[in-house]
Amino acid sequence: MTTIIMSIKGRHIRHMEEGRKPWELRKTKPGFRPPYRVLLCQVGTGGRIVAEFRCEACVNLSAWRDTDLAEIACVTPEEVAGYRGKGKQAVYGWKVECFRRADLGHVADWGAERPPQSWCYAHEAPEA
């Protein structure tokens, strides 16, 4: 299974944990078919991975209205519009399943030099 490191704000992690955020929106998607193991690096933690989820589907939601995207991603329509930009860039929905909080180390433990701007592939699993 492909492992991905994703940078994300704390409020989105809380919404996933509460079950209120079933989809994470991103402008890009992996070049491999799901499922993916997604490690969550919370912004402002110095590269700590604080949670993970399993992504079973990654779908193009570009044709959806901003209000509908906002509802499934637990954000405001204004945030979606700002995220898309003026050119109405592509938006992909990453399905959040099997969320769990866990201290999974630092991004460097997974082969990344620093937290990604959005997401990146993990290169190595830490040794037990």
User: Per-residue pLDDT tens for 46-80?
Assistant: 999 999 999 999 999 999 999 999 999 999 999 99
Residue 54 belongs to a domain:
yes
Question: Where would I find the H helices in the chain?
Answer: 10-17, 66-73, 77-84
Which pLDDT score, from 0 to 100, does residue 123 have?
83
Q: Which residues of the chain have pLDDT under 70?
A: 87-88, 124-128
The answer as to whether 126 is a domain residue is no
| Domain boundaries, position 35 | 2-121
Give the pLDDT score at 127: 57
- Per the CB < 8 A criterion, the answer to whether 24 and 58 are in contact is no
The rounded distance, in Å, linking the Cα atoms of 108 and 122 is 9
Give, in order, the Cα–Cα distances in Å from 105 to each of 2, 32, 83: 18, 25, 29
Q: Checking phi first, is residue 119 left (phi over 0); if not, alpha (psi -120 to 50) or beta?
A: beta
Q: What is the pLDDT of residue 108?
A: 95
Global confidence as pTM: 0.91
The CATH number of whichever domain residue 54 belongs to comes to 2.30.130.30
